[in-house]
Amino acid sequence: MGSLQERITSTKEGSITSIQAVYVPADDLTDPAPATTFAHLDATTVLSRGLAAKGIYPAVDPLDSTSTMLQPRIVGEEHYETAQRVKQTLQRYKELQDIIAILGLDELSEEDRLTVARARKIERFLSQPFFVAEVFTGSPGKYVGLAETIRGFRLILSGELDGLPEQAFYLQFEEMTLNLCVLTPNRIVWDSEVKEIILSTNSGQIGVLPNHAPVATARTKWDTSHRWIKYHISYKQY
């Protein structure tokens, strides 16, 4: 295989892409057989049994997978920087897993707990609804653009989405928003995509986040001015 790979090259007339499926004995990437094979490849995509067990698909391990093209001059500074920060967060989470298993999450420092929470969101954000898996998942397949993906990771890393539960990121391929529609008997007062809704009711406040089941609430006294919206519905937009 090494002989074949070394002969493959790109020319002005075209190029050849070779894809190899490599079995790794006992999932040991340092085994001589896969290690020798990887030396001839430009990129490796490593599938993880652990991610598959969590139901996260594609079950690609972002720490063990590599690409020689992940360089600033090829993918751009923003893409490269975001990828490195994502890998650092996941690596720290991996290092903390033994401590979590023995002592529990509460024994971690506040900074490490925050890292773990963001890493778990990143793991789920790496999931993607496949077209070929529609019949199994019930979710329609979607193509996820690169710019949208990078933006999503940067929002997670910056802490802007710390208030959302990790499950909100599973198979998430669009803006993490929900629709807010305020109606009166005569007209629509407000209809927009928002990040979070806090409804003030007689019994307290109700918070609604993206991916929540549809919620409808009625009020007996209507004030259709913007003041009603401002003081009775607190909304956060991008």
79 close to 149: Cβ distance less than 8 angstroms? no
Mean pLDDT computed over 182-205:
69
d(CA 235, CA 10): 53
Whether 227 is in a domain gets the answer yes
pLDDT at 122: 94
Residues 72 and 162 in one domain: yes
Whether 53 is in a domain gets the answer no
Residues 6 or more apart from 139 whose CB is under 8 A from it? 129, 133, 171
Residues 95 and 146 in one domain: yes
Residues 135 and 84 in one domain: yes
pLDDT at 10: 75
> Which position has the token pair 């401590």?
99
pLDDT above 60 (res 222): no
Which CATH number covers residue 214?
Answer: 2.60.15.10
Give the CA radius of gyration of the chain: 23
Dihedral-angle region of residue 76 (phi above 0 means left; psi in -120 to 50 means alpha; beta otherwise): left
CB burial of residue 136 (10 Å; 0-12, 13-18, 19+): exposed
Instruction: Show which of 114, 144, 169 is a domain's final residue.
Output: 169
Residue 226: band (very low, low, confident or very high) from pLDDT cuts 50, 70, 90:
very low
Per-residue pLDDT of 79-138, as tens digits, reads: 999 999 999 999 999 999 999 999 888 889 999 999 999 999 999 999 888 888 777 767
Give the Cβ contact number of residue 58 at 10 Å. Answer: 14
Instruction: Show which of 169, 203, 219 is a domain's final residue.
Output: 169
Per-residue pLDDT of 136-182, as tens digits, reads: 767 778 877 888 889 889 989 998 888 888 888 887 755 556 677 77
Residue 25: band (very low, low, confident or very high) from pLDDT cuts 50, 70, 90:
confident
pLDDT at 185: 72
Closest CA to 9 of 55, 40, 51: 40
Instruction: Show which of 169, 203, 218 is a domain's final residue.
Output: 169
Residues 187 and 95 in one domain: no
Average pLDDT, the chain: 79
d(CA 57, CA 24): 20
Which CATH number covers residue 84?
Answer: 1.10.1140.10
Residues 139 and 183 in one domain: no
Residues 6 or more apart from 55 whose CB is under 8 A from it? none
Residues 154 and 197 in one domain: no
Residue 231: band (very low, low, confident or very high) from pLDDT cuts 50, 70, 90:
very low
Residues 142 and 182 in one domain: no
Residues 74 and 148 in one domain: yes
Residues 154 and 73 in one domain: yes
235 close to 196: Cβ distance less than 8 angstroms? yes
- Tokens linked to 238: 């991008």
Tell me if residue 173 falls in helix, strand or coil.
coil
d(CA 72, CA 70): 7
Query: What residues does 47 pair with on adjacent strands?
Result: 60
Per-residue pLDDT of 41-86, as tens digits, reads: 889 999 998 888 888 888 899 999 999 999 999 999 999 999 999 9
Whether 144 is in a domain gets the answer yes
Residues 75 and 156 in one domain: yes
pLDDT at 228: 39
Closest CA to 41 of 81, 7, 2: 2
Tally of domains within the chain: 2
Residue 223: band (very low, low, confident or very high) from pLDDT cuts 50, 70, 90:
very low
Q: Considering the entire predicted model, what is its pTM?
A: 0.68
Residues 114 and 153 in one domain: yes
Closest CA to 150 of 84, 57, 88: 84
pLDDT at 156: 92
Residues 153 and 182 in one domain: no
Domain that holds residue 227: 178-236
Least reliable range by pLDDT among 26-35, 156-165, 224-233: 224-233
pLDDT above 50 (res 227): no
